[in-house]
Structure 1
Amino acid sequence: MMFGPAAIPMLWFIAKMLWGEYHKRPPLWVSYAPDALPEVSFLPNVCGIHRPETFQNCEDIRVFGDYAVVSCDPYRRQSNLLTGYKPGTPSGSVYVWNWVEDSEPVRLDVGGATDFRPQGVRVWPLGEPGQKIDTVDYSVFVDTVRLFIANNSKNGSVEVLDYTFSTGASEHVASLRHKDGTIDPAHVLPVSSSEVFLTNTLGYPGGVLGRLELLSATPLATIGYLNFTDMTNITAKNVGAVTTPTGIDYANGKMYVASALYGVHAYELYVPPATLTAEEIAANSSLGRMRFLPGEKFHRMPYLPTTLSYSRELGGLVTTAMTGYVAEAKALFGKPQAPSWAGLLVESDNLVVADSVTAALKTDERKWQTLFYDADGASFSGLSSLVVENGKRFGVGRYQDGVMICNSNGIEEVELPPAPPAAKTKKAVEIDGMFLTKDEL
């Protein structure tokens, strides 16, 4: 009976579900390599690797003026593939480095943590009191900043430090732990000097649960929120579930979360006004904390996203990605070289990015402009984070020593590749230096 006419609606429902799932995941089996544009590749006259003796197995990099904050951890290379943990693995480090003067990087003291596994890092300028993420001005250099560091140790935490560039002095402010927020921190997004969102990835890619989640597409990982206004009383909540969230950032009123299985999710994010009085906060508790609203948009990726960073210079979201499951597996098993790719998200309903890497996506999904590509990791292996500031690209890799600095942002010199024959007439348009194509409707 189960194979009779009554089964047809059920089979149709299953087929529709699988087809919809196919059109959400990266099309890895039909992905294309970007066209060979030298401006987005590693060339000795464009890119260079700096301080390889210090920056080894690095997870994240953020640039603030003449300084870069870099998190590095040997855990990725030395941990056990099955358990995600190897006793005796040295703790990781976070450095502040004046990349303009190329002075000796300063290794930060994180309050005596014996098991320190830094992944995502963020810089928060300590300027006007009570400022929120939608009002902070990163173009103005502030001597003292607050650093938020995702500590992916067995006792996961968000480490908070205040650092003064002129003196090199750092002060450990807090170790944020809470059963409802810090499950397995991977990346952080501060939205004020005392509020931070974080991704909890269940140990992916080194943990068993994280890999099971990735294979099963079950959203077990979470987005946490922590508030430590008085520095001692930590409040927290779980604000959402995302499958393997590997990156998080904020731009233009939205919070973006990268899922290694699907792509980039965009969420509305309510930021309370900084002018609220204590009485107003007490009268309406929802105004005294961040409010995480349901997602409204999804951006499909050509590859597996690993981090997110908002480029103020390009006015868009930059993401790095692994180019396939096989490459990821080889890297986890210790292959010294892994492919690298980074792209810029161009959000517009009428624009199609002229980039061959997006050819496997549907027309309305082609929003990714390649910023960097190394097909076999021969020049730079396993790019794990890329930021674009000051007309340059700054990158680090889990399987690569040193910080890569490219004397180009990867956009201004990219030429439009020949357009394939199409029924509709296409014309080239230039928006903020990015050469894209637009269908005439």
Structure 2
Amino acid sequence: MIFGPALYPMLWVLAKTLWSEYQKRPPLWFSYEPEPFPEVSYVPGVCDVYRPDVFTGCEDIKVYGDYAIVSCDPYKKQSNFLTGYKAGTPSGAVYIWNYVADSEPVQIEFGDDFGELRPQGVRGIFTNEHETTLRIFVTNAAGKGNASVEVFDFTPSTGKIDRFLSLPHGKAILDPVSVVPISATQVFTANTLGYPYRGVLSYLEALSGMPFGTIGYLDFTNVSNITEKSVGASTTPIGIEYHGDKLYVASAQYGIYSYQLYIPPDDITDEQVAENKSLGRMHFYPGEEIFRTPYLPLHLSYSTELDGLVSAGANSVLGQVLSWLSSKKRKAASWAGLLVQLGDLVVADSVTSALKDKDRKWQTVFWDKTGDKFSGLNSLVVENGRRFGVSLHDQGVLICNTNGLEEVIVPEQEDLEQEIDKKNNDKLEHLYLKSEL
């Protein structure tokens, strides 16, 4: 008992540390439901679900011109939380679909001898300024050290698909969930600890917030001498995106991390690189900024149309689990938000009310409270006047033929008080000056 009183300060420090750690996470359980604005909800005649017979259990979608790239694995529900997929479970598939013509989706052929295919994130980049060839990257989270990133070249004018390269399991490719190219031969990957949770350590990661996931970097400009390395760690990095000189990583535990990239000039010599490692071909600074989210963020996409980062998210873990496991085909809510980075502003979106003022940067861009129209949205893209979404729980590709977002308005100073008074009933999702709230 002599050591009993001495334990109190230790317990206090431990409790304070744990509370501080959990305060950094998305509030989730305390987040508010956004009002069902028709501009961002499923509206019959504006939204529809296409090709449910083909697109089942889909993980990710990206859109380039008239084409959508979709990754699906309807057999993911057959996976075991500890060991992964059962032996003999069929592979998933990746499709290229002309959504404008609504032609039959074309399945990418990986070859009869390819082995297990567990497609997660997909991404494309045009290899030239004329946009005649789209290079497609597919993350394959196959188990037993067979994970890879598969690279294909697609020619829209002819419909031809050519296998370009297979990047195998290694330092940058462990359990890849997402991939983003910064050029036709340079990519970043996000790796979780055995997605979907093939290991006991993943539960420790979820509870503790320890960064067991990794961020990988590959340069295959010279295919005979590929540069591959792990450049960072993150807790459950589900999504990854690149825009400008920033790399964004969606941590399901904490929110969206922003990393600053530095790419030195090409005229730096190998000797200079050897003398000063900071002058290497890629310099990776640890997370300089984090954007808290009111939900658990999943796949990311940058919308050139909205000039902002879009993330789909799970706002109900229970709803996701019940939808995943229930034999009664229960539904999960669908939700996605736009990250608004306009300096000293906060978003008047009721869902962000659970966040601190400085973190209220999210504007709801899609909301289906019950999931009856589209259950468990997993990835959302806003491009070409449309919203595109897919789900692991539901079938088909959701397409809403208008982005429906009202113009973001910053109130004039003399009108600010009136705007603040009516913000709770605002139907236009205006922005407000944080310093004046």
User: 2: CA distance between counterparts of 1:224 and 1:45?
Assistant: 43
The equivalent position to 2:207 in structure 1, one of 200, 205, 215, is 215
Q: Give the equivalent residue in structure 1 for 2:413.
A: none
Counterpart for residue 373 of structure 2: 379
Q: Does 1:356 align with 2:350?
A: yes
Partner of residue 117, structure 1: 118
**1:3: Cα distance to partner?**
4.2
Matched, 1:126 2:134: no
Q: Does residue 154 of structure 2 align to residue 163 of structure 1?
A: yes
> Counterpart in 1 of 2:57?
57
Alpha-carbon shift at residue 225 of structure 1 (Å): 1.0
Report the TM-score, using the length of structure 1 for normalisation.
0.88
The 1-side partners of 2:433 and 2:345 are apart by 5
Offset of residue 75 of structure 1: 3.0
**1:102 match: secondary structure:** coil
Q: CA deviation at 1:186?
A: 0.6
State the partner residue of 2:238. Answer: 246
> What's 1:181 paired with?
172
In structure 1, the residue matched to 2:33 is 33
Deviation at 1:373, TM superposition (A): 1.2
RMSD: 2.6
Structure 1 residue 365: deviation in Å? 1.1
Q: Describe the shift of the 1:118–1:358 C-alpha distance in structure 2 as closer, same or farther (beyond 3 A).
A: same
Q: CA deviation at 1:379?
A: 0.9
Q: Which of 129, 133, 138 is the matching residue for 1:144?
A: 133
Contact 2:175-2:195 at 8 Å conserved across structures: no
The one-letter amino acid paired with 1:114 is: G
Letter in 2 for 1:264: I
Q: Compute the displacement of 1:268 (Å).
A: 0.8
Q: 2: distance between equivalents of 1:325 and 1:395?
A: 19
Determine which of 301, 315, 320 is the counterpart of 1:328: 320
Amino acid at match of 1:173: F
Which residue matches 1:46?
46
Over 3 Å counting, the alpha-carbon distance change for 1:56 and 1:42 in structure 2 is same
Aligned twin of 1:201: 192
Q: CA–CA distance in 2 between the matches of 1:77 and 1:414?
A: 40
Question: 1:393 is matched by which residue type in structure 2?
Answer: R
C-alpha distance in 1 between matches for 2:208 and 2:184: 37
| Alignment-mate amino acid for residue 48 of structure 1 | D
Correspondence for 1:401: 395
How much does 1:144 deviate? 0.7
Point out the structure with the larger helix share. Answer: 2
TM value normalised by structure 2: 0.88
What are the superposed Cα offsets for residues 332-374 of structure 1, whole Å, 9 maximum, x if unpaired? 4246322211001112341111111111111111111001112
Deviation at 1:205, TM superposition (A): 3.2
3-state secondary structure, aligned to 1:401: coil
Unaligned 5+ residue runs, structure 2? Answer: 411-415
Task: Check whether the contact 1:263–1:298 (CA below 8 A) recurs between aligned residues.
Answer: yes
Question: Which residue is 2:405 aligned to?
Answer: 411
Q: Is the 8 A contact 2:348 2:429 kept in 1?
A: no
Deviations 1:222-275 (A, max 9, x none): 1111121222332211111111100000123211111111111111112344xx
Structure 1: distance between partners of 2:421 and 2:224: 58
Is residue 78–residue 86 contact of structure 1 (8 Å, CA) maintained in 2? yes
* Cα distance, 1:87 vs structure 2: 1.8
Q: In the alignment, is residue 227 of structure 1 matched against residue 227 of structure 2? A: no
% identity of equivalent residues: 53
Partners in 2 of 1:349 and 1:93 — Cα distance?
41
- Equivalent pairs counted in the alignment come to 417
Query: Match for 2:341: what amino acid?
Result: E
Equivalent pair of 1:110/1:161 in contact (CA under 8 Å) = no
State which of 409, 434, 437 in structure 1 corresponds to 2:432.
437
CA distance in 2, matches of 1:174, 1:427: 58
- Alignment correspondent of 2:142: 153
How far the C-alpha of 1:16 sits from its partner, in A, is 3.3
Task: Name whichever of 337-346 and 16-25 sits farther off.
Answer: 16-25
Q: 1:296 aligns with which of 288, 295, 301?
A: 288
* 1:126-164 deviation line (CA, Å, top 9, x unaligned): 115xxxxxxxxxxxx612111111011111000011111
Distance 1:268 1:248, change over 3 A: same
Deviation at 1:291, TM superposition (A): 1.8
Distance 1:403 1:123 in 2: 18
Partner of 1:137: none
- Contact (CA 8 Å) 1:74, 1:89: kept in 2 or not? no
